[in-house]
Amino acid sequence: MTQPQFEFLTRLGDNTLVLGHRVSEWCGHAPVLEEDIALANTALDLIGQTQLWLGLAGEVEGKGRDADTLAFHRDVWDFRSLLLVEQPNGDFGQTMMRQFLFDAWHSNYLAQLMDSSDSRIAAIAEKSTKEVTYHLERSSDTVIGLGDGTEESHVRMQKALDRLWPFVGEMFVSDEVDAAMVAEGIAPDPASLRGEFDTLVNNVLTAATLTRPQDDFAHKGGKTGGRHTEHLGHMLTQMQWLQRAYPDASW
Amino acid sequence: MVTDHPSVQTIWTWLDQVPDPEIPAISLVDLGIIRDVAWVDDTLEVTVTPTYSGCPATSIINLDVEAALREHGIQHLRLKRQLSPAWTTDWMTEKGRSKLEAYGIAPPQPSGGPKQCPRCKSPHLERISQFGSTPCKAQWRCTDCLEPFDYFKCH
Ligand SMILES: [Zn+2]
């Protein structure tokens, strides 16, 4: 582990990048116009946050890589995003369930990062928190609306929850990068955030009349880059197509 | 040595003539994103804060600021990005708020929703969507005149 802070920042930036790209795949395809706009705006916020996180990662690394280089010139094994965010969109319900599970973790994590000993990280967290608060408000409302909706929407939301639940645990696994960040007062221990996440998620799932899966088995390997699911590679071929075909092309 | 810099006040007046690229009814100063204007020796430093981190207008705003100041003869210019404290609609000017309303966009309110329909002034409103045509807006509708309108979100 050469640069824990670089690792840590790419984790943050890759989460928002991969989820931002996934959500942007809905552009022009959402069930109704308002949702299309909301999804595009959410994606835009996430991509904006990516520029800040990966920009800082490149600065910390000091090898002249900027946010674009990190986003477009790395392959699957260099990505440090959570497995949850690379999962395919599925139907609208699955997209919103994925968003809710991520937002519930993200909002809490950013709130803690606002107290980071690194003022640059605290500033990005402060900026992002305002946006992520909207995301969480909307994804919670949608999960409740669809879960406690029609028979069809309820079944689909329960299926989405069951499908995505095995990817929740990874958000709270701590490793040596996290330990190094905790030691320097840069970031909280992910494991310490599970309680608040559970409270929030339980409240929303209850209101949505959905059943939280009993099994807490968790797939791992996204944030360490050790083993991504097959979906990330496919996504990158789309996202990085231009830079792969025409390396270093610019406007 | 006599300096012939335009005063900081003059520069604020110039910047107040630069329209927001997405809502040209208000200026960048009205929007509250110009955080500081200062001379550092011979270089003019303008501090700008983004509205939303992914707002595509951010780079255009920097270009517009630069173009406007160059046109007024400023040669040495440095644009600084400031993230913290994060932009808030509390920094929007009163003049900006009235211009927004006259333009048909309900200005931000601390209550989190528009006060009245920008067209017929009715207080009977409903929210259509928390998001709108740009990151800073939400979609609302007046239940009296039935017109949909943009609400500049309180942020
Ligand atoms: Zn009206």
Q: pLDDT per residue over A56-92, tens digit each?
A: 999 999 999 999 999 999 999 999 999 999 999 999 9
Q: How many CA atoms lie within 13 A of A39 on its CB side?
A: 25
Interface test mutation site (partner A, options B49, B83, B140, max chain A beta carbons within 10 A): B83
| Rounded distance from Cα B147 to ligand 1 centre (Å) | 6
CA count, 13 A, side-chain hemisphere, B95: 10
At residue A214, does pLDDT exceed 80?
Answer: yes
**Domain chopping of chain A, boundaries:** 2-245
Task: State the average pLDDT over residues A205-234.
Answer: 94
Coil vs helix vs strand at B67: helix
**Average pLDDT of chain A, as a whole number:** 96
Assign A1 a pLDDT band (cuts: 50, 70, 90).
very low
Within 8 A of B131 by CB-CB distance, chain A residues are 34, 37-38, 41-42, 134, 138
Chain A interface test: which of B61, B128, B131 (most A C-beta within 10 Å) = B131
CB contact under 8 A, B56 and A44: yes
Tell me the chain B residues in contact with residue A42 when contact means C-beta distances shorter than 8 Å.
131
Does residue A108 surpass a pLDDT of 90?
A: yes
* CATH architecture assigned to A2-245: Up-down Bundle (1.20)
> Would you call A138 and B130 a contact, using CB atoms and an 8 Å cutoff?
yes
Amino acid A151: pLDDT:
98
Q: For residue B133, what pLDDT is reported? A: 82
Task: Find the B33 Cα to ligand 1 centroid distance in Å.
Answer: 30
pLDDT tier for residue B58 given thresholds of 50, 70 and 90: confident
pLDDT at B59 over 90: no
pLDDT of residue B56: 81
pLDDT score at B3: 64
Spans of all domains in chain B: 8-90, 104-152
| Among A48, A46, A30, A50, CA closest to A142 | A30
CATH superfamily of B8-90: Fe-S cluster assembly (FSCA) (3.30.300.130)
The residue in chain B having the minimum alpha-carbon distance to the alpha carbon of residue A38 is B131
Q: Which residues of A touch B86 (CB under 8 A)?
A: 123, 126-127, 129-130
pTM summary value: 0.92
The pair of structure tokens assigned to A19 is: 């989820």
Question: What is the rounded CA–CA span in Å between residue A8 and residue A4?
Answer: 6
| pLDDT band, residue A216 (cuts 50/70/90) | confident
